[in-house]
Amino acid sequence: MNFAGSQLEAVLADVRRGMIPAHVYGDPQIFALERDRLFARSWVFLAHESEIPDPGDYVVRRVLADSFIVARDESGAVRVMFNMCLHRGMQVCRAEMGNASHFRCPYHAWTYRNDGSLTGLPFHAEAYGGEDGFPREGQSLLPAPAMGIHNGLIFISLDPGAPPLPEYLGDFAFYLDFYTRQSPAGVELRGPQRWRVKANWKIGAENFAGDSYHTPHTHASVVDIGLFREPKASKRKEGALYVAGPGVGTTYKLPPGGDFASQLRYVGYPDAMIPAMAASWSAGQRALIADSGFMVSAATLFPNLSLVHNWPQIDERGTVAPFISLRQWQPVSERETEVLSWFAVDAAAPEAFKRDSYKAYLMCFGSSGMFEQDDVENWVSITEMAAGSMARRLRLNSRMGLTSAGQPIKPPLATFAGPGVAYQGFGEFNQRHWLRQWSDHLEDPR
Amino acid sequence: MTARPLPYGDPAHQAAHQFLVEEAALLDAADYSGWLDLLCEDIRYLMPVRVTTARGAGFDSLADMGHFDEDMYALRKRVQRLATDHAWTEDPPSRTRHFVTNVRTFRNEPGARAEFLVESAVLLFRSRGDTREADLVSAGRADLLRETGAGLRLARREITVDEAVLRTQNLAVFL
Ligand code: FES
Ligand SMILES: [Fe+2]
């Protein structure tokens, strides 16, 4: 690393005071540090259990350049294995999904069971002298150094010393449930849509983390066309922003005077789903909706998993249907990101609801979504601007919500039922929290 | 498809081919309201997500997930949005060219209503800004064209995109 320590220190000091050196959104040296110090250590989302429901089901996913097979083995356990053959390093599985009891390497046909164990080795006796020369016992594709599952969400860390996943998720688990545990059946994921954008991966992560400020302008067009029942863009400033453990998110303020069921009905959940939501969520989770009057919307779990919940009108009659999407900002380089965007829906929801919710998702987010279209245009442009020399002289002001002395311009919400700290109105508290975690990783040479 | 395509000299084939070429001209001129006029009210406009699977897997696209799965309401909203002053992703607009080729026309079950199955290939060239690299999107299309009093109209389109990971920043375009 030829990025001098003092240079990095200066960058991180600026980031921590909310003045972000613009080049971090297009700098190959920063990207190398992100690879080595952030993605090599952090918990990273790979897949959801619903994508591999049956024994033998698998998907292939990456953490940057590292390919992993995420499989359900014959005993029903989830396995995450580095997709590189033990013999000469061929990529063992080159499909991105399917069902297989075994994976056979295309090069010399070493064969692995779907739990990763090496079972087949051609000419074992002649080439290796059998078990004596090469004992197959105990040989297996390299397992992910650490793996954890929460609400069916499968995460791995490349750091075997990573804290246990529940400890890492901490207070953010409270908020994850709104997206991924609306009933005991849990959520099912469809997709992902995948596409590559010429944008730095951090920009999307920060946007979903807390940029309610962009909605009135960037997304003016979806309001213009009446995709929402109310002029939602300006409503954005009544929402609360929360910081909770490794996650941060945004909410919408619900209409005054509602109770738990009426508020869920208001955002389009059918009566058939509401009892399961009431039973599935804690008193505190119910109170966030019923008493505090907030409904979760966009959020980001550090580093690169974002979630979104919104409720457009999906037909001429004005039917309101909520949808959930999970999306991953998979870095390709400092100037390119692969977006993986899943549609998520409660597995126990009525089929008619699933259909409506899917339609709502496609209209709003994903590769063709009308929100996402304008978001990406902005992010590509920032990345282009960040690549030059002048960006090294510019510090982007990310201090919204703070006085010049560094105090919040208004106090945190006293009556917010969720864990963590919440502020009502616009602010960049969430992006700064996300960037602080980013800075902590980048400065740690370990 | 087991049936033979209509001979290229068949008037039905020629009408179908001309429909696709004229449709492409409307799209490249960004005349989206003109484009909507070519669609049946019961249109289904579909673009499944393609995936990389083993040869024997029996599928190479997702049955339950698309890039598009649109009815007339959704398409109208998309077109209305592009017509607002706030659709930033297309302002400045992309320069696009839809190259339509490999057109084959099949008569839909003899005796049924006057509909034709039309298969075609489309290559979309999309250039944005002055210096960005241009995008290409290659796809096959299976269309259902319906004869109406006002001429042929598109009743269904299934777009089989040729990439698992799209290399264009969004689908603020139609194929
Ligand atoms: S590289 Fe896989 S068997 Fe040789
Ligand atoms: Fe946005």
Report pLDDT digits (tens) over B130-171: 989 999 999 999 999 999 999 999 999 999 999 999 999 999
Name residues 226-285 of chain A within 8 A of B (Cβ). 227
Instruction: Tell how far the Cα of A298 is from the centroid of ligand 2, in angstroms.
Output: 9
Q: How many Å lie between the alpha carbon of A223 and the closest alpha carbon of chain B?
A: 9
Number of H helices, E strands in chain B: 3, 6
B165 chain-A contacts, CB cut-off 8 A: 194-196, 338
- Is B87–A193 a contact, with Cβ atoms under 8 angstroms apart? no
Residue B116 has pLDDT above 60, yes or no: yes
Question: What number is the average pLDDT over the span B105-109?
Answer: 87
Tell me, yes or no, if B136 comes closer than 8 A to chain A by beta carbon: no
Residue A249 has pLDDT above 70, yes or no: yes
Residue A232: what pLDDT? 65
Give the integer Cα–Cα distance in Å for A419 and A118: 46
Give the integer Cα–Cα distance in Å for B153 and B150: 8
Tell me, yes or no, if B167 comes closer than 8 A to chain A by beta carbon: yes
> Which pair of structure tokens corresponds to residue A137?
């016992």
Residue B136: what pLDDT? 98
| For testing contact with chain A, the best of B170, B174, B175 (most A CBs within 10 A) | B170
ipTM (interface predicted TM): 0.96
Report pLDDT digits (tens) over A69-106: 999 999 999 999 999 999 999 999 999 999 999 999 99
With respect to residue B41, please indicate whether it lies within any of the assigned structural domains: yes
Residue A1 has pLDDT above 70, yes or no: no
Q: How many structural domains comprise chain B?
A: 1
Give the position, in ligand 1's atom list, of the atom nearest the Cα of A85.
2
Tell me, yes or no, if B127 comes closer than 8 A to chain A by beta carbon: no
| CATH assignment of the domain containing B151 | 3.10.450.50
Give the integer Cα–Cα distance in Å for A332 and A366: 18
Residue B2: what pLDDT? 60
* Alpha carbon nearest to ligand 1 atom 1, residue: A88
Residue A357 has pLDDT above 50, yes or no: yes
Tell me where in chain A the CATH 3.90.380.10 domain(s) lie.
170-443
Tell me where in chain A the CATH 2.102.10.10 domain(s) lie.
45-150
Q: Among all residues of chain A, which has the CA nearest to that of B134? A: A198
Report the pocket of ligand 1 as residue ranges, CB < 6 Å: A 85, 87-90, 105, 107-110
> Which pair of structure tokens corresponds to residue A346?
């409660």
Instruction: Tell how far the Cα of A115 is from the centroid of ligand 1, in angstroms.
Output: 18
Confidence band, pLDDT 50/70/90 cuts, at residue A5: confident
CA distances to A182, A252, B31, B63 from A264, in Å: 11, 13, 40, 30
Residue A230 has pLDDT above 90, yes or no: no
Q: How many Å lie between the alpha carbon of A248 and the closest alpha carbon of chain B?
A: 26
Nearest-ligand number for the alpha carbon of A139: 1
Confidence band, pLDDT 50/70/90 cuts, at residue A400: very high
Report pLDDT digits (tens) over B65-100: 999 999 999 999 999 999 999 999 999 999 999 999
CB B75 within 8 A of CB B41: no
- Is B167–A195 a contact, with Cβ atoms under 8 angstroms apart? yes
Whether residue A192 is preceded by a cis peptide bond, meaning omega within 30 degrees of 0, is yes
CB A370 within 8 A of CB B77: yes
How much is the pTM?
0.97
Residue B111 has pLDDT above 80, yes or no: no
Residue A143 has pLDDT above 50, yes or no: yes
Strands (E), A209-354: 240-244, 247-253, 294-301, 305-310, 323-333, 336-346
Residue A2 has pLDDT above 60, yes or no: no
CB A105 within 8 A of CB A99: no
A343 chain-B contacts, CB cut-off 8 A: 65
| Structural domain range at position B66 | 11-161
Instruction: Tell how far the Cα of A68 is from the centroid of ligand 1, in angstroms.
Output: 17
Name residues 27-56 of chain A within 8 A of B (Cβ). none
| For testing contact with chain B, the best of A103, A373, A376, A382 (most B CBs within 10 A) | A373
b/e per residue A210-219 (b: at least 16 CB within 10 A) = bbbbebbebb
Q: What is the CATH number of domain A170-443?
A: 3.90.380.10
Instruction: Tell how far the Cα of A208 is from the centroid of ligand 2, in angstroms.
Output: 7
Instruction: Tell how far the Cα of A220 is from the centroid of ligand 2, in angstroms.
Output: 10
Taking residue A409's Cβ as centre, other Cβ atoms within 10 Å add up to: 12
Tell me, yes or no, if A319 comes closer than 8 A to chain B by beta carbon: no
Per 3-state DSSP, what percentage of chain B is helix, strand, and coil (rounded to 5)?
25, 40, 35
Residue B112 has pLDDT above 90, yes or no: no
With respect to residue B175, please indicate whether it lies within any of the assigned structural domains: no
Q: Among all residues of chain A, which has the CA nearest to that of B78? A: A370
| B24: CB partners within 8 A, 6+ apart | B98, B99, B100, B122
Q: Among all residues of chain A, which has the CA nearest to that of B173? A: A368
Out of 2.102.10.10, 2.60.320.10, 3.40.50.720, 1.10.1060.10, the CATH code matching A45-150 is: 2.102.10.10
Residue A235: what pLDDT? 82
- Is B69–A190 a contact, with Cβ atoms under 8 angstroms apart? no
Question: What number is the average pLDDT over the span A413-418?
Answer: 96
CB A360 within 8 A of CB A323: yes
Residue B67: what pLDDT? 98
Judged by DSSP in three states, A392 sits in helix
Residue A240: what pLDDT? 97
The number of CA neighbours under 13 Å toward the Cβ of B84 is 22
CB A362 within 8 A of CB A370: no
